[in-house]
């Protein structure tokens, strides 16, 4: 499993693992004298086969001057919404939006991300031609170096050979560990990763934290599953490793042996790794110790040399998230008989990370496995897109600074801030009404809610990139950017937490909740239609960005976030009886999502539990806050849809997607988010407001039996 994912999962709860214009509404299609959609008159609507076809012509016209936010062309009225609301709501969109050949999935998030990439490309083109600041000069130069294919092809694998030389010089386990330090300095994570993170039980400070790492396949179970597909994938992976070794200058015989060494080392690491679902439990991931404890756990590792090599003083406290994993690493690094295997494994980490930045044959080989085989992507993106993605990823906060100057009007920030406060206020009114929670725990929940902070748009304090070195070599620029970020992160160890720090750049189409900060963050990149449109009325916006806001707030009260108090500390604030009730409620959500299948495989309800709770609760909170904002009014019918219908239809539109079978399989194996259809149909099948809006009845697939409905917040 990629360490970036693990660290992000440990720190934040994100919305996903990316602009479209609202087109004029069209009249609903009538079939056989009946309307499969909804017929509205005044402020009441009928949904289903029993509705008269002419009622939609009597809809009350909008008087607010705002658009409905709903495009009827997105619907597929041949689908019975009572049985499958997701495909009813976005089936038309799916037919009109096939997956481009350079994508593995194509949906609301990816379309926005693709549009953002085009804007970032314009920014980089301008920066390359006429930079207006030191930051723009660095970004423009980095971008130009990536477009210089002639220089990249001429260099071939020479830059890689220079970095491989220290590995070639390894003669014993002592020199092996010195080279391991250099790999970590490059931002690579063979064997394990050591970096900074907030102390879960003292959120005011940054401490050294060690995570399990070192795998080339997506996560641990890819190495252990015994089904035929998994066996075949492992065989393809070994062949891919062998091919990339050969392209890097190794003989066929050496490449074959090296590939098997890599697989052997990674399999041992995988078997020692904690499953992804268990890593969601912060208590299981907290093992604070002093250096004496770490030395006792891993006596084969020379930590004094390691700390000196990565440029930090010996940490006072270290959180070893998975001690059993580090014990396995200790055994591996003490085995002299594995010296050649270790060297090949370190070479592989370097080669794998380098391939996308070197000549075409290495880049293509890397793409063929990680994008084509694992994700189902047919062709590479154009080079300008690939380079733009690299620069905006490796110098992400710098790109975000330039992005918001062009793409984020201040009035959007104010309107979203008002929605945040409205949803928080509604939750503050709703918590006292909960019938399963005692007054003592309600008081603590309200305190946590009152302390919750929100960041919207972009960081108030720009990140300083003055020490980032950028030159003419694309490969060197990549390495320098990774070193810069690693040094920046390691430099936080032992320091107070910076309240201005963001874990996502402004251009990212995503959002997150950070439990150790008790804060929700909404980058400017997501504040676009269909999530947020200043032209649309509030119903659609609450169904879009409102549910995102509710989702992120709810993460503070999901099975993971509920273990942290209002100050971000891992501390129990529940009475014993209430915690038992809460665990029973969350088990109901886990069981619901475990019952869903995708490609014949059940979802891992424990893995997706936090996101499913956030979807379920965020939906309810946003709808309640929207109703509250009407101050007792009914709202307008616009384009034939009631406010409630617009809310739920736009909620579904947020999750509109087409996805390759390979990417979908990767998601259900590795992603803590359910697949899009279940992110819509799953929560909605518990929601009584949704039932009323679309005339959903007992017995309909979209209506869970009363005794099985899930509601927490």
| Residues contacting residue 330 through CB under 8 Å, at least 6 positions apart | 297, 298, 299, 300, 301
C-alpha span between 332 and 264 (Å, rounded)? 11
What are the DSSP calls for 687-700, one per residue?
Answer: -HHHHHHHT--TTS
Q: Choose the catalytic residue: 533, 578, 615, 664.
A: 615
Q: What is the DSSP letter of 706?
A: G
Residue 92 has a CB neighbour count (10 Å cut-off) of 21
C-alpha span between 577 and 559 (Å, rounded)? 16
The answer to whether residues 457 and 408 touch, using CB atoms and an 8 Å cutoff, is: yes
C-alpha span between 631 and 255 (Å, rounded)? 70
Give a three-class secondary structure readout of 375-404. Answer: HCCCCCCCHHHHHHHHHHHHCHHHHHHHHH
- Picking from 566, 535, 514, 523, the residue whose alpha carbon sits closest to that of residue 638 is 535
Residue 552 annotated in active site: yes
Task: Provide the phi-psi class of 156: left if phi over 0, else alpha when psi is between -120 and 50, else beta.
Answer: left
Assigned token pair, 621: 């909170």
- First vs last C-alpha separation in the chain: 32
Phi, psi of 519 (to 5 degrees): -140, 150
Identify the helix (H) or strand (E) that includes residue 111: helix 108-129
Q: Choose the catalytic residue: 163, 242, 396, 552.
A: 552
Range 199-203 contact pairs with CB under 8 angstroms and sequence separation of 24 or more: 199/288, 199/317, 199/319, 199/516, 200/282, 200/285, 200/286, 200/319, 200/516, 200/564, 200/569, 200/570, 201/286, 201/288, 201/569, 201/570, 201/571, 202/569, 203/497, 203/516, 203/517, 203/567, 203/568, 203/569
* Surface-to-core class of residue 313, CB atoms within 10 Å of its CB (0-12 exposed, 13-18 middle, 19+ buried): exposed
Q: Which residues pair with 192 in a beta bridge?
A: 212
Assigned token pair, 218: 């997506």
Cis peptide before 530 (omega within 30 of 0): yes
Residue 154 has a CB neighbour count (10 Å cut-off) of 10
C-alpha span between 369 and 233 (Å, rounded)? 10
Give a three-class secondary structure readout of 404-431. Answer: HHHHCCHHHHHHHHHHHHHHHHHHHHHH
What is the chain's Cα-based Rg?
A: 26
Residue 519 annotated in active site: no
Give catalytic residues, as residue numbers: 552, 615
């Amino acid at each position: 499993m990629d360490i970036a994912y693990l660290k992000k999962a440990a720190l934040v709860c994100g919305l996903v693992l990316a602009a479209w214009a609202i087109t004029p509404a069209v009249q609903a299609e009538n079939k056989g004298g009946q309307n499969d959609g909804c017929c509205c008159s005044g402020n009441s609507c009928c949904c289903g086969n029993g509705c008269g076809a002419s009622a939609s012509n009597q809809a009350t016209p909008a008087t607010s001057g705002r658009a409905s936010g709903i495009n009827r062309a997105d619907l597929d009225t041949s689908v019975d919404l009572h049985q499958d609301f997701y495909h009813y709501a976005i089936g038309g969109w799916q037919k009109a939006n096939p997956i481009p050949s350079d994508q593995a999935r194509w949906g609301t998030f990816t379309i926005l991300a693709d549009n953002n990439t085009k804007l970032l490309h314009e920014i980089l083109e301008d920066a390359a031609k006429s930079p207006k600041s030191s930051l723009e000069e660095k970004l423009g130069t980095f971008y130009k170096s990536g477009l210089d294919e002639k220089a990249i092809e001429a260099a071939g694998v020479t830059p890689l050979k220079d970095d491989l030389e220290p590995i070639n010089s390894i003669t014993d386990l002592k020199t092996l560990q010195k080279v391991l330090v250099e790999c970590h300095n490059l931002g690579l994570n063979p064997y394990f990763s050591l970096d900074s993170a907030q102390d879960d039980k003292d959120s005011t400070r940054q401490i050294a934290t060690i995570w399990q790492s070192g795998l080339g396949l997506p996560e641990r179970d890819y190495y252990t599953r015994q089904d035929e597909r998994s066996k075949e994938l492992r065989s393809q992976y070994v062949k891919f490793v062998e091919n990339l070794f050969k392209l890097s200058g190794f003989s066929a015989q050496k490449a074959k042996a090296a590939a098997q060494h890599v697989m052997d080392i990674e399999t041992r690491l995988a078997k020692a790794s904690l499953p992804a679902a268990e890593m969601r439990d912060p208590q299981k991931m907290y093992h604070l110790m002093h250096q004496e404890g770490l030395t006792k756990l891993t006596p084969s590792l020379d930590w004094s040399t390691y700390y000196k090599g990565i440029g930090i003083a010996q940490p006072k406290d270290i959180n070893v998230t998975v001690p059993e994993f580090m014990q396995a690493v200790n055994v591996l690094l003490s085995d002299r008989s594995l010296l050649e295997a270790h060297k090949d494994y370190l070479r592989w980490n370097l080669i794998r990370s380098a391939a996308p930045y070197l000549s075409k044959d290495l880049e293509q080989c890397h793409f063929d496995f990680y994008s084509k085989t694992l994700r189902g992507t047919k062709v590479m993106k154009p080079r300008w897109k690939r380079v733009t993605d690299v620069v905006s990823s490796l110098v992400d906060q710098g790109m975000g600074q330039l992005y918001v100057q062009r793409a984020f009007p201040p009035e959007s920030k104010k309107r979203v801030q008002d929605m945040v406060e409205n949803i928080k206020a509604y939750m503050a009114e709703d918590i006292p009404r909960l019938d399963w929670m005692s007054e003592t725990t309600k008081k603590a929940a309200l305190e946590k809610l009152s302390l919750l902070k929100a960041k919207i748009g972009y960081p108030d304090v720009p990140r300083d990139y003055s020490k980032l070195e950028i030159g003419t070599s694309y490969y060197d620029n990549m390495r320098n950017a990774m070193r810069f970020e690693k040094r920046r992160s390691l430099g936080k160890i032992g320091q107070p937490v910076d309240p201005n720090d963001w874990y996502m750049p402004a251009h990212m189409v995503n959002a997150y909740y950070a439990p150790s900060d008790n804060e929700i963050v909404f980058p400017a990149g997501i504040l676009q239609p269909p999530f947020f449109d200043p032209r649309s009325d509030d119903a659609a916006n609450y169904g879009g960005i409102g549910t995102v806001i509710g989702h992120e707030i709810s993460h503070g009260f999901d099975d993971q976030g509920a273990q942290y108090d209002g100050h971000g500390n891992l501390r129990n604030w529940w009475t014993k009886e209430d915690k038992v009730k809460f665990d029973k409620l969350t088990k109901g959500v886990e069981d619901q999502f475990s019952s869903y299948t995708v490609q014949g495989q059940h979802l891992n309800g424990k893995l997706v539990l936090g996101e499913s709770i956030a979807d379920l609760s965020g939906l309810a909170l946003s709808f309640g806050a929207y109703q509250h904002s009407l101050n007792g009014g009914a709202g307008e019918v616009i384009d034939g849809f009631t406010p409630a219908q617009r809310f739920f239809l736009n909620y579904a539109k947020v999750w509109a997607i087409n996805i390759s079978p390979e990417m979908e399989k990767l998601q259900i194996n590795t992603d803590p988010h359910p697949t899009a259809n279940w992110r819509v149909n799953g929560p909605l099948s518990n929601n009584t407001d949704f039932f009323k809006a679309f005339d959903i009845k007992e017995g309909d697939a979209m209506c869970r039996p009363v005794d099985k409905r899930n509601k927490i917040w």
